[in-house]
Structure 1
Amino acid sequence: MNNALITGATKGMGRAIAIAFAKQGVNLAICSRSANDLSSFKTELLQINADIKVFTAVADGSKKNELLQFAVAAESELGFISVLINSLGTYKYASILDEVDGDFETMLNTNLMPAYELYRFFGKKMIAKGSGHIFNICSVAALDVIPQAGSYSVSKAALLSLTNVMRLEMQPHGIKVTAVIPGSTFTNSWKGMDVDQDSMVQPEDIASAIINIYTMSTGANVDEIIIKPVKGQL
């Protein structure tokens, strides 16, 4: 049975991805700052599939020490982590000139650092095993920057670049790396805004795409996939 570690797994896209992997019979390692969120979600996942293991840890994934402690504990509890899904992210609607001090660091520590650190932690272990798949949840803002969300765009562009480096480093070893690039997706980032949910990508769409890529043959990899609203970006 395979084991997947998912950051940002209790909300939005990460939550939908965790549910989709549970249905596939994959053991899960998830973390959150909220013990209550973890407890209720673990119960939900085990109701979906009672045959899987679900390891949870209270941790802030934007803090390097807590993130790596979670990674160590997940590996100790489940064994080899064959699927890594970097879904943790945050969004701030502000131009770079208007954002408050610390916003840029928050974006980097949430949207970029976890993928970098978890890659360094798990990458060589995947090479040693000769198997593994890494999914990084990027954003169309990495391709077409959003001036009203400057630091977010920079952090997601850096994540996409990191993903491309990962793929080339892992390619000789048969380890798969996929950049998932969603457009306007209905998550908590849109909370309080007047948007038409039905005109947006749904978190379940992202999860479905990832499962389809994950279940492809050993010799196939999707380098990147772009999923946007049919009527264009909001």
Structure 2
Amino acid sequence: MESDLQLKGKTVVITGSSKGIGKETATLLKDLGANLVLGSRSNTEKISGTVLELPLDVTNEESVKAFYEQSIKHFGAVDVLINSAGVGMFASVIDSSVEDFDQMILVNLRGTYLTCKYFGKHMAENGKGHILNLVSIAGTTALPGCGGYSASKFGVLGLTKVLQLELRQKGVQVTSVHPGAVSSSFWEQIEPKPDMSNMIPVKTVAKHLLYLINQPPGAFVDEITIMPPLGIL
């Protein structure tokens, strides 16, 4: 089926592109001929064919603005924005670090707000476009040890719902994507390590994103939940 999904000429922006879901999605879309703008804190500016890699700090408005302007300058228009930049630190609320809490709000919520603000305006002016915000099941379900993470992700879900109402009549689709636990690099800095054997393969999530941006015309997908076979892990 993937061989039938051609993205040649379509420009897709991906934040958090250096690892995890963002990296896997970028690899998949590149193979299907998409123009890609890849943003990450670890990137240096590099152009290779239809792939533009740029440094990006989603918490910093000037960085997001420069990233947006270079994207438009290079490709002329952006069709899809995939917000996959995110961080997670886990502890009970009373034992959590204020610094960790602030960082999650900055990256997960403020970062999504800033990219949606700039690219959303561009799409609204063009009368078309698709924003996919990676929320998480922790943005819809209360989970012990996820206070700061859930607060940021519940915020992203609220922001996404408002964007749906504000942009729908302007031809822009906004989709909230809620994966359960994904077997990705997200867990590298987390101790103790969870059992990842029954988590969703990262490539599976990337394929779901691919199908979302290739859906037939005539309908918008507002929300999708992607769960491990055995449920929340």
TM-score (ref. length: structure 1): 0.88
Per the alignment, in what secondary structure is the counterpart of residue 84 of structure 1?
Answer: strand
Q: How far 1:69 sits from its partner (Å)?
A: 1.5
Q: How far 1:197 sits from its partner (Å)?
A: 3.2
- In structure 2, the residue matched to 1:97 is 94
1:12 to 20, 28, 40: 20
> Could you say if the C-alpha distance between residues 69 and 142 of structure 1 is closer, same or farther in structure 2, counting changes exceeding 3 Å?
same
Q: How far 1:15 sits from its partner (Å)?
A: 0.8
Q: CA RMSD in A?
A: 1.8
- In structure 1, the residue matched to 2:121 is 124
Per the alignment, in what secondary structure is the counterpart of residue 197 of structure 1?
Answer: coil
Deviations 1:175-217 (A, max 9, x none): 1111110001012222264444331101111111111111112
- In structure 1, the residue matched to 2:223 is 224
| 1:38-57 correspondence to structure 2 within 5 Å | 53-57=50-54
- In structure 2, the residue matched to 1:203 is 202
- Divergent runs of 4+, >4 A: none
- In structure 2, the residue matched to 1:215 is 214
> Could you say if the C-alpha distance between residues 94 and 195 of structure 1 is closer, same or farther in structure 2, counting changes exceeding 3 Å?
closer
Per the alignment, in what secondary structure is the counterpart of residue 199 of structure 1?
Answer: coil
* Structure 1 residues not aligned, in runs of 5+: 47-51
- The aligned length equals 223
1:3 to 11, 26, 37: 11
Deviations 1:152-196 (A, max 9, x none): 000000101111111111111221111110001012222264444
Q: Identity of aligned pairs, percent?
A: 34
| 1:1-234 correspondence to structure 2 within 5 Å | 1-35=9-43, 53-191=50-188, 193-234=192-233
Per the alignment, in what secondary structure is the counterpart of residue 12 of structure 2?
Answer: strand
Is the CA contact 1:3–1:79 (under 8 Å) kept in the aligned structure 2? Answer: no
Deviations 1:127-160 (A, max 9, x none): 2211100000001011112230201000000101
Q: How far, CA to CA, are the matches of 1:95 and 1:65 in structure 2?
A: 33
Is the CA contact 2:108–2:152 (under 8 Å) kept in the aligned structure 1? Answer: yes
Q: How far, CA to CA, are the matches of 2:228 and 2:90 in structure 1?
A: 20
Q: How far, CA to CA, are the matches of 2:12 and 2:158 in structure 1?
A: 23
Is the CA contact 2:18–2:42 (under 8 Å) kept in the aligned structure 1? Answer: no
Letter aligned with residue 217 of structure 1: P
Q: How far, CA to CA, are the matches of 1:212 and 1:145 in structure 2?
A: 28
Letter aligned with residue 121 of structure 1: Y
TM-score (ref. length: structure 2): 0.89
Is the CA contact 1:135–1:179 (under 8 Å) kept in the aligned structure 2? Answer: yes
* Structure 2 residues not aligned, in runs of 5+: 1-8
